[in-house]
Chain A
Amino acid sequence: QLSLFRLTMKRLFSTSHSSVDSKEMKKFQLLAHKWWDEEGEYSALHSMNDIRVPFIRDTLLNMSSNYHLGNPLSGVKILDVGCGGGLLSEPLGRLGASVTGIDPLEDNIRTADQHKSFDPVLAKRIQYRSSSLEEIVEECMETFDVIVASEVVEHVADLEMFIKCCSQVLKPEGSLFITTINKTQLSYVLGIVVAEKILGIVPEGTHEWEKFVPPEELQRLLESNGFSVKTVNGMLYNPLSGSWSWMESTSVNYAMHAVKSGAQGQLSPTDTLSEMEREQSSAAAGTAM
């Protein structure tokens, strides 16, 4: 165990080719103990559960024919990448999923482990590991039904490698859920100036506009790596009410659902839709939410 820990620590701070950005990690180190204060620095992430959990849940239920409303995600194996203190892992675990939460920061994992330990049901359903995504690829090939990467890709060093690793650990036809921030003038004003500097909704320095990812770019990367994008929805945070809602425009925050192609890289018929048709159907799905 100790040698694995040492190896992990070496990897964490090495500058070798990795999707983990060590500068990013330092930012989160300071706040590792603040995860579970619902009114604290992470309050916006807590309230984001009100839309991201139903989004994940309902998308998966719509694709499945065999579930029980009392335990909707029972039997689903989920990887929560960049799980932090476990804010998203826990609700998914409560809905019945077997969740593996990984985060490169040891302190985050420690916080997450301690928080789940008081609930015997969650303690069994959720496993946390201090690790980067690349480090688990070998032993987790095609292991997971679902990957969630929420508020993570804007912190990642090499996005294409991140996506390739997601594809490797995901079962064929498995789902990938991403929530992140667009790279627009509006997202600079709202996401950095207002959110960080003026209202203090997000701790200052958390985000760098340069690393924000436009949905078109994310979609392009996903589709050139064996994924088919099914849904893109804009998200909006209301600082007065402290709550999130869906909106048509993806100019600030957005959520994306993509499905890994089936065995032998076969693409489903819908992938041959033209760019415009696909955008239209995504927008329609967005408004339907």
Chain B
Amino acid sequence: AAPLYDVVVSGGGMVGSAMAAVLGHDIHFHDKKIALLEAGPRKEYDRVPDSYSNRVSSISPGSATLLSSFGAWDHVCSLRLKPFRRMQVWDACSEAMIVFEKDDLDDMGYIVENDVIMSALTKQLDAVADRVEVFYESRAVGYTWPLPSHSCDTSPWVQIELADGRRLQTKLLIGADGHNSVVRKEAEIKNIEHRYDQSAVVATLHLSEATDNNVAWQRFLPTGPIALLPLSDTASSLVWSTSHEHALELLAMDEESFVDSINSAFWSNVNHSDFIDTAGAMFRSAISLLKPSGTAVRQLPPSIAKVDPESRAMFPLGMGHATEYVQHRVALIGDAAHRVHPLAGQGVNLGFGDIACLAHHLSAAAFNGSDLGSLKHLLKFETERQRHNVSLIAAIDMLKRLYSTSLAPLVLLRTWGLQATNALPPVKVRI
């Protein structure tokens, strides 16, 4: 018979690997067998390469806490990361701006290269190799679901077939295989999805002059948001969401023109209209009457001097949300369950939030001697996460749509909205 595992995680990206590592380090899983299936090769390095990778993530403090709970954050810190203290978000069509920063000057978040996170996760998976078996270069090609519980003759476990013909069985299958999740499709879980007519262009940029660089910048252009995420005192990572055509142009143009486009995107006021500027100024004075401290100091983003050759790349954007996160013996986490626009820097953090919640319920279930694939605790995970995720995903989608226009009424709406949000502490704290 095919080897039986307690949990199989399908998908060895940041979220899948972290899920396997968290379970592997859980005391109640001490005697359990976990497998992680990853289609690609093993990713690890002892020393970071000199150049930065163009795929980075904004890691929230909550995610950092999760990663440190099983020792991965220490590895990240010893490799490379950049904390940031402040986020400035503003509109290309008006003066409206919102600034996020913590009162106590704590770090708001960390910009970390995805490769660095993967390397840290790989190390921590090695540390629990007696419990977690990682199958590299192993793609799952087929899943067979068990029949409902009262039919006793056939195996009650999920059957997994790998590309090389090997078979596994598991009591719980966790799908962490990305927004085109095969687990989700094979489980016939309906997915609400929408392709944005936008692609994200990423690149590694070098600043004109060295600076503390502890601010994350994002400006909403009518074509989409452009963001500068700090990597070091002299380098930042670009994430520019724009139309597919513009994205292709940006990739094709020479390095100088590319740098000029970026600087222009951050500095130009061509999209302002007098009407909006006046309306915005009026609103601002109204706020300062009511709440004198309600407008923050506007800082100026850094200017870019150079782009790392070969660091330009693009990928298409979309949103997705699975109608169910769980089924008997199946759970979805990360992009397999929900896919968002990068404008809020939330993508991987939602995935890490899924991990913290699912691991909590699985740990309790293991300590109660429960069948790990039982819907009873899986539904608790689904309810908690859907409650948290749905409103955030909807808000991100709405922001994307709201900021994709230069029509005056909507610009005015978002201008006032942004300014009001900036002035209201409770709303800002929730974000």
- Chain A interface residues toward B at CB < 8 A: 33-34, 36-38, 40, 47, 49-50, 53-54, 57, 68-72, 90-96, 111, 114-115, 118-120
Bound state CA distance, A54 and B375, in angstroms?
19
C-alpha gap A14/B392 in the complex (Å): 67
Alpha-carbon gap, A119 to B169, bound state (A): 11
Within 8 A of A (CB), among B1-50: 4, 27-31
Known contacts A69-B28, A118-B155, A92 near B149 by CB under 8 Å = no
Contacts of A111 in B (CB 8 A): 152
Contact assessment for B30 and A53 in the assembled complex, using a CB-CB cutoff below 8 Å:
no
30 contacts between A and B (CB under 8 A): A33-B150, A36-B152, A38-B375, A38-B376, A47-B376, A49-B368, A49-B369, A49-B370, A50-B368, A53-B368, A53-B369, A57-B367, A57-B369, A68-B30, A69-B28, A69-B30, A69-B367, A70-B28, A70-B30, A71-B31, A91-B368, A93-B369, A94-B369, A94-B370, A95-B369, A111-B152, A114-B152, A118-B155, A118-B157, A119-B171
CA A70 to CA B29, docked complex, whole Å: 6
| Complex: A91 Cα to B376 Cα, angstroms | 15
Report Cα–Cα, A71/B369, bound state, in Å. Answer: 10
Q: Counting chain B CB atoms within 10 Å of each CB, which of A40, A53, A95, A118 scores highest?
A: A118
B368 — which chain A residues lie within 8 A by C-beta?
Answer: 49-50, 53-54, 57, 91
Interface size on B, residues (CB 8 A): 22
Q: Tell me whether A72 and B367 are in contact (CB under 8 A).
A: yes
Expressed in whole angstroms, the Cα–Cα distance for A71 and B367 within the complex equals 9
Interface 1/0s, chain B 368-399, versus A by CB < 8 A?
11110011100000000000000000000000
Complex alpha-carbon distance, A155 and B374, angstroms: 29
Question: Whole-angstrom distance from the CB of B3 to the nearest CB of chain A?
Answer: 10
Assess whether B316 is interfacial by the CB under 8 Å rule.
no
B375 CB contacts on chain A under 8 angstroms = 38
CB neighbours (8 Å) of B150 from chain A are 33-34, 36-37, 40
Specify which chain A residues have a CB less than 8 angstroms from the CB of B171 in the assembled complex.
119
Distance from A236 Cβ to chain B, minimum over Cβ atoms (Å): 18
A120 to B27 Cα, complex, angstroms: 22
Which chain B positions have C-beta within 8 A of A38? 149, 374-376
Q: Which of A70, A91, A93 contacts B27 (CB 8 A)?
A: A70
B156 CB-CB contact with A under 8 Å: yes
Question: In the assembly, what is the distance between CA of A40 and CA of B149, in Å?
Answer: 10
Which of A34, A71, A114, A120 meets B4, CB within 8 Å?
A120
Contact call B370/A115, Cβ cutoff below 8 A: no
Q: Please name all residues of chain B whose beta carbon is closer than 8 Å to the beta carbon of A54 when the two chains form the complex.
A: 368
A84 to B320, CA, bound (A): 45
Partner of B369, one of A37, A47, A90, A119: A90
B residues within 8 A CB of A40? 150
Which residues from chain B contact A68 at a C-beta distance below 8 Å?
Answer: 30
* A91, B31: Cβ atoms closer than 8 Å: no
Nearest CB of B to A241, in Å: 11
Closest B-chain residue to A97, C-beta based?
A: B369
Give A147 Cβ to nearest chain B Cβ, in Å: 17
Tell me which residues across on chain B come within 8 A of A71, comparing CB atoms.
30-31
- Which residue in B30, B149, B370 is a CB contact (below 8 Å) of A36? B149
CA distance A90 to B150 in the complex (A): 16
Question: CA A71 – CA B29 in complex, angstroms?
Answer: 9
Chain A positions within 8 Å of B367 at CB level: 57, 69, 72, 95
Residues of A within 8 A of B369 (CB): 49, 53, 57, 90-95
Contacts of A91 in B (CB 8 A): 368-370
Task: Give the residues in chain A near B29, CB-CB below 8 Å.
Answer: 70
A93 and B370 alpha carbons, distance in the complex (Å): 10
Decide: A37 near B370, CB < 8 A? Known: A70-B28, A71-B31, A118-B157. no
Contacts of B155 in A (CB 8 A): 118
Which residues on B sit within 8 Å (CB–CB) of A49? 368-370
Q: Compute how far the CA of A238 lies from the CA of B31 in the bound complex, rounded to whole angstroms.
A: 34
- Bound-state CA distance A217–B189 (Å) is 53
Contacts of B31 in A (CB 8 A): 70-71, 96
Considering the complex, give the chain A residue whose CB is closest to the CB of B29. A70
CB neighbors of A among B313-337 (8 A): none
A47–B376 alpha-carbon span in the complex (Å) = 9
A274 to chain B, nearest CB (A): 36
Closest CB-CB distance, A138 to chain B, in whole Å?
A: 31
Residues of A within 8 A of B27 (CB): 69-70
Interface residue ranges of B130-154 to A (CB < 8 Å): 149-150, 152
Closest 10 interchain pairs by CB? Answer: A70-B30, A91-B369, A94-B369, A37-B150, A95-B369, A69-B27, A71-B31, A70-B31, A53-B368, A36-B149
- Chain B's closest residue to A117 (CB) is B152
Q: Tell me if B4 and A119 are in contact (CB < 8 A).
A: yes
- CA separation between A37 and B149, bound complex, in Å? 6
CB distance from B261 to the nearest CB of A (A): 56
Given contacts A38-B149, A119-B171, 19 further A-B contacts (CB under 8 A): A33-B150, A36-B150, A49-B368, A49-B370, A50-B368, A57-B367, A57-B369, A69-B28, A70-B27, A70-B28, A70-B30, A70-B31, A71-B30, A71-B31, A91-B369, A94-B366, A95-B367, A118-B157, A120-B4
